[in-house]
Every structure is written in C-alpha cells, then in structure tokens.
Amino acid sequence: MSTVETATDISTFTVDISDEAIEDLRRRITTARWPTKEVVDDDTQGVQTKMLQELVRYWAEEYDFGRLEARLNELPQFITEIDGVDIHFIHVKSEHENALPIIITHGWPGSIIEMLGIIGPLTDPTSYGGTEADAFDVVIPSIPGYGFSGEPTEAGWDSARIGKAWAELMSRLGYTSYVAQGGDQGAGVTDAMGRQAPDGLVGVHFNFLDAVPKELLMAALNIRLAFSGDERDELSKVIAVVMRGYIAEMGEHPQTIGYSLVDSPIGLAAWMLDHDADSYGKISRAFLEGQASGNLTRDEILDNITLYWLTGTGASTSRLYWETGRAGKASLKDPPPHVRIPVAYTVFPQELFQAPRHWVKSAYHDLIYYNEAEKGGHFAAWEEPEIFAAEMRAAFETLRDEGSAS
C-alpha cells in the first residue's frame, strides 16, 4: 500500500510474546535436571549451582514475564531490511534541536536491554543533570542474529558487514552527521565503522579495545619483553580473555553450543553469566545477597536472558564469534585501513582489562578523548547508565562544535 520501496522500507515494530512461549519456558525451568554441585567453594569451575538455582527460582517464582514486552514497547522500535537481513532497532529522537545522532551497539551476552537505561540521560539530558547541548538522538540496533533482528542465512556477517549495515541504517534515518559507540562485540562493529569511515560518521567512542586482538596483540606477543610490568599484567589479561572457553567454543563450533543454548534455559543462563569474573561476581551478589551493582539488578539480568531465550538466538548469536574469528585471521593477511576519524575512549575500572592510554593511542591515532571512569565494568552502559551517558557527553563535545561549524 505504501509507495516506499520495499527494500528500504522502515516498519514500526512491537514485541508480542505468546503465553505459550512463556509457559514452555516456565515448564522447562521448573523441570530442569541439575548436575551435582561444583566441587570447589568458588567460581573456578564455572557458574556455581547455588547461584544458578537462586536465579532460576527467582525466574520461575518472582520475575514478571510481562516486563520485557512492556519495557520495549514503550520505546519506538522499527524493522528495516538491510543487505538481506531484517534489522531491529530502537530509535529515540531528542526533543532538543541540534541533538547529535549516535548509534550504539551492544555485544555478547548483551542486547538492546543493556542500553535501555542510557536512553533517558542521552536523549533528555536536562532531566538528568545535563544541558540541552548534551542531547543525542539515539539509535540502538540489534546485531544480526541477536534479539529481534533476523538471522543471517549465509556466512559472512562479520563486524565489517554489520558496520556497513549500520551506516546504511543511519543514512536511511536521514542522519548526515553522527557518531557511533560500542563495547564488547559492539566495539568490533564500531571499530569497523571507524575504518570504513562512511559519509556522515564524525567520530567513535569505545569502552573496550577491540583493536587489541587485531593490531596490538600480535605486535605485543613478539615484543612482550619490551612491556613494563604493569602492562604485562594487562596483556596477560588480554590473552586470558581470548583463551576463555566460551570464546573458543563459540568461535570454533557455534552450532554445537547452539543446541544447548536454544534447548535448555538453565544451560543458556549459565553460559551467558559466565562472561567475566567481575560481572559474574556482581550478578552472583545480586541474586544471593540482594545487592545489585548499580542498575545490574535481578530483573535487568533476567530481561536480557529471557530475551535470548524467547528469540531462540543462542546459535545465531554465537555465530558472530565464528565470523569474528574468520575475519580476524583474514585481517592478519589483509589488514583493514587505519581509523582516521576522531576516537574517544573510556576505561571502566572493572572491565576485562584496563587499556593504557598509549595502547589506545597506538591503535587510534586521532585520540580526542581518554578518561578513566570511577566505576563500572564490562557492561558499563547497563550497570552505570548515568556515568556512561556523562562519558558520551564529554567524549563527543568537541565534535558537536565542529559539526555545527561545518
């Protein structure tokens, strides 16, 4: 009925979760078959049974399954097909003129749920201790294969291809001057955008140094002895990240672990919670001691896991690691261009590793902003939305001026 060309059409989107899907999930949770508990008193054998059982108890007995749908449907959501895949995104325009458009990309085991808390502070800064001049128009897409985006049906959807899709998305939304932000896999996508430097992208911000594996790690492995003691510690943390079981498995055989993640809710929950020691500890305390770290509450954590479950995306989300691994190997032979546009970086103190300024500087030559935030870990936007939003304001301040001047 519309005259808009189908391929670039943007449709509104509403989350609609069936009662059967929720009933099935509840049934699976309550009939879960549990292993014997770990034989250690800490998390060195993985997600602890006591913690997971408490999470599952809360999930089945106290968690409000209507939350997820209600929270998302309060926000303007859309779907548009790009490069053959339906892309789901949240798009909230600020009421303030001259708001800076920003596209923010989540990672694994995250989703758009991680980003919901920053929408207010970014789009409506005057209600959150900022000024009109701090306002952003916010675009929060779901990575292909994640959440309500479609699953790619062919190999090749690596960070670079996602980056190109994001540029197309911003252009479809009519944005001609915008910035991009990401941590975790979102940092990979944002890094790719920085290298592609599409028309309109004026700067990028990271809270994870994705460039480390690509550029710095290889160099560092060869010149390890040249690093100081402190940096060797950070480097060994980087290597430990790469050597994690979940990365090895998802990078090699995403389909194999996919069967677990799509068929067993407790298998999915355990796999998602076993990301890094800091976030695991925080999530564990949220469930066992009722002490959430910032916004990382039980309900928030279960919104995210429930989203993965209901969309059945355990295998398709894992495939991104397989794609990243392949692209990483290819980039060693055929390195992508350097990032020449302005880069901003925030170190969160409990992130997997704390990239020293000159690591960031060596990866990104035009480093316009570098700051160490006072708190927050791997899921910085989720855990500390106000601090995260303050970082965005500070990071991109100078680019706004340039933007309005140009």
Partner 1 sequence: MSGTTIDSATEIRPFQVEVPEEKLTELRRRIAATRWPEQELVDDRSQGVQMATIQALARYWTTDHDWRKAEAKLNALPQFTTEIDGTELHFIHVKSEHEDALPLIMTHGWPGSVIEMIDSVGPLTDPTAHGGSAEDAFHLVLPSLPGYGFSASPVEIGWDLGRTARAWAELMGRLGYTRYVAQGGDVGAGVTDAMGRQAPEGLIGIHTNLLVPALNGPMPTNTDEERAAAAQIATFRQSGQGYFVEMASRPQTIGYALLDSPVALAAWMADHDTDAYYKIAGAFLGDKPSGNLTRDHILDNITTYWLTGTGASAARSYWEAYGADAPAASSKPLPAPTIPFAFTTFPGEIWKTPRSWVEASYPNVVYFNEVDKGGHFAAWEEPELFATELRAAFTSLRTNGGQS
Considering only residues 15, 189, 270, 380, which one is a binding residue for partner 1 as defined by CB under 8 A? 270
* 83: contact with partner 1 by CB under 8 A: no
Catalytic residue among 124, 137, 184, 303: 184
Binders in 353-392 for partner 1, by CB under 8 A = none
Can you tell me the distance from the alpha carbon of 73 to that of 66, in angstroms, rounded to the nearest whole number? 11
Cα angle 144, 145, 150 (rounded to 5 degrees) comes to 75
Which residue matches tokens 């675009």?
A: 139
> Which of the stretches 66-74, 148-156, 211-219, 352-360 binds partner 1 when contact is defined by CB under 8 A?
148-156
With respect to partner 1, which residue has the nearer C-beta, 40 or 70?
A: 40
Which residue matches tokens 């969160």?
A: 348
* 277: contact with partner 1 by CB under 8 A: no
Q: Is residue 401 annotated as part of the catalytic site, yes or no?
A: no
Both structure tokens of 147: 């959440």
* 249: contact with partner 1 by CB under 8 A: yes
With respect to partner 1, which residue has the nearer C-beta, 237 or 361?
A: 237
Q: Which residues, 6 or more positions from 27, have their beta carbon under 8 angstroms from its beta carbon?
A: none
Q: For the chain, state the CA radius of gyration.
A: 21
Can you tell me the distance from the alpha carbon of 171 to that of 198, in angstroms, rounded to the nearest whole number? 10
Asked if 106 contacts 143 with a C-beta cutoff of 8 angstroms, the reply is: yes
Catalytic residue among 88, 96, 275, 378: 378
* 260: contact with partner 1 by CB under 8 A: yes
> Which of the stretches 163-171, 248-256, 346-354, 393-401 binds partner 1 when contact is defined by CB under 8 A?
248-256
Catalytic residue among 321, 345, 364, 369: 321
Show the binding pattern over residues 7-46: x = contacts partner 1 (CB under 8 A), - = does not: -----------------x-------xxxxxxxxx---xxx
* 342: contact with partner 1 by CB under 8 A: no
Can you tell me the distance from the alpha carbon of 129 to that of 29, in angstroms, rounded to the nearest whole number? 42
Q: Is residue 91 annotated as part of the catalytic site, yes or no?
A: no
Can you tell me the distance from the alpha carbon of 316 to that of 331, in angstroms, rounded to the nearest whole number? 23
* 154: contact with partner 1 by CB under 8 A: yes
* CA-wise closest residue to 340 among 146, 191, 175: 191
* 165: contact with partner 1 by CB under 8 A: no
Dump the DSSP string for 286-299: HHHTS--BTTB-HH
Binders in 205-244 for partner 1, by CB under 8 A = 243-244
> Which of the stretches 75-83, 133-141, 150-158, 187-195 binds partner 1 when contact is defined by CB under 8 A?
150-158
Task: Provide the 10 A C-beta neighbour count for residue 269.
Answer: 25
Q: Is residue 378 annotated as part of the catalytic site, yes or no?
A: yes
Task: Provide the 10 A C-beta neighbour count for residue 233.
Answer: 12
Can you tell me the distance from the alpha carbon of 236 to that of 243, in angstroms, rounded to the nearest whole number? 10
Taking each helix axis from N to C terminus, what angle separates 298-311 and 277-288, rounded to the nearest 10 degrees? 110
Binders in 281-320 for partner 1, by CB under 8 A = 312, 314-316, 319
The site for partner 1, by CB under 8 A, has a size of 56
DSSP conformational letter for 377: B
With respect to partner 1, which residue has the nearer C-beta, 26 or 244?
A: 244
Single-letter code of the amino acid located at 11: S
**Binding stretches for partner 1 (CB under 8 A):** 24, 32-40, 44-49, 52, 151-155, 243-246, 248-264, 266-271, 274, 312, 314-316, 319, 322
Active site residues: 184, 321, 378
